[in-house]
Amino acid sequence: NAGVTQTPKFQVLKTGQSMTLQCAQDMNHNSMYWYRQDPGMGLRLIYYSASEGTTDKGEVPNGYNVSRLNKREFSLRLESAAPSQTSVYFCASSGYGTESYEQYFGPGTRLTVT
Amino acid sequence: QQPVQSPQAVILREGEDAVINCSSSKALYSVHWYRQKHGEAPVFLMILLKGGEQKGHEKISASFNEKKQQSSLYLTASQLSYSGTYFCGTEVRGSQGNLIFGKGTKLSVKP
């Protein structure tokens, strides 16, 4: 039982390059989330998916796209990376709608855009 | 609207107590508390679902005052392992379980 896994752990991009961050969970959760964390800012929601086949914008969606490939996997794509997207990205999942819906976080991806 | 956490940082000696507050301008359905150690992912501590509810986790407990839209996290007899940044995440009714996190409170426990 791995929980929430993310790849890659570290990434350096040049401005304008694209990349996809991968996330998978094995807890049979319906809800999945992508956050970014910047120093002193807390965790800010980029996109979320309440169930397979649905996605919605969070607080800071500009410059990102997501895909809920199936119940397990939720990917985040940066089409044209900008230095302002330098951050730590966390994927999370929860059993929202069940008795206990705390969020479980992956280990994070540290992204630097130069 | 991001909840406001206070204090921003606190330094304790082992065995001392601390209180971390989380205040929202919106009516809350629940409050979640997480702890994050440096370089790691946030880890769930507890959820408070009802007004006035108190929950406990080891020597860490929390309260939720629905009327005041506030929650407090109580750390008693602190241990070195309590060091980290504590975040509250607030949920409003109808938000499908989505949380808005505060900026965090950095807790340092010294020997």
pLDDT for res B51: 60
pLDDT single digits (tens) A65-98: 999 989 999 999 999 999 999 999 999 999 877 7
- Tell me the CA distances in angstroms from A28 to A2, A31, A80, B54, B107, one per residue in order: 12, 9, 32, 29, 34
Contact B89 A102 (CB under 8 A): no
Q: Point out the residue among A41, A45, A105 whose CB comes nearest to the CB of B98.
A: A45
Q: Classify residue A43 by burial, with Cβ atoms within 10 Å: 0-12, 13-18, 19+.
A: buried
Q: A106 to chain B: which residues are within 8 Å by CB? A: 41
Contact B98 A48 (CB under 8 A): yes
Q: Does B87 touch chain A (CB under 8 A)?
A: yes
pLDDT single digits (tens) B23-66: 999 988 899 999 999 999 999 998 888 666 666 667 899 999 88
pLDDT for res A20: 98
pLDDT for res B76: 93
Q: Is the dihedral of CA B92, A71, A25, A88 positive or negative?
A: negative
Q: Does B96 touch chain A (CB under 8 A)?
A: yes
Residues of chain A falling short of pLDDT 50: none
pLDDT for res B57: 67
Which DSSP string corresponds to chain B? -PPEEE-SEEEEETT--EEEEEE-SS--SEEEEEEE-TTS--EEEEEE-STT-EEEETTEEEEEETTTTEEEEEE-S--GGG-EEEEEEEE-TTSTT--EE---EEEEEE-
Question: For residues B110 and B11, is the Cβ–Cβ distance under 8 A?
Answer: yes
- N residues, chain B: 111
Q: B47 to chain A: which residues are within 8 Å by CB? A: 100-102
Contact B101 A44 (CB under 8 A): yes
- Find tokens 């060091």 and name the residue: B83
Q: What is the mean pLDDT of chain B?
A: 91
Contact A108 B41 (CB under 8 A): yes
The backbone torsions φ and ψ at residue A96, rounded to the nearest 5 degrees and listed phi first, read -50, 135
3-state secondary structure of A84: helix
The encoded tokens of residue A42 equal 């807390």
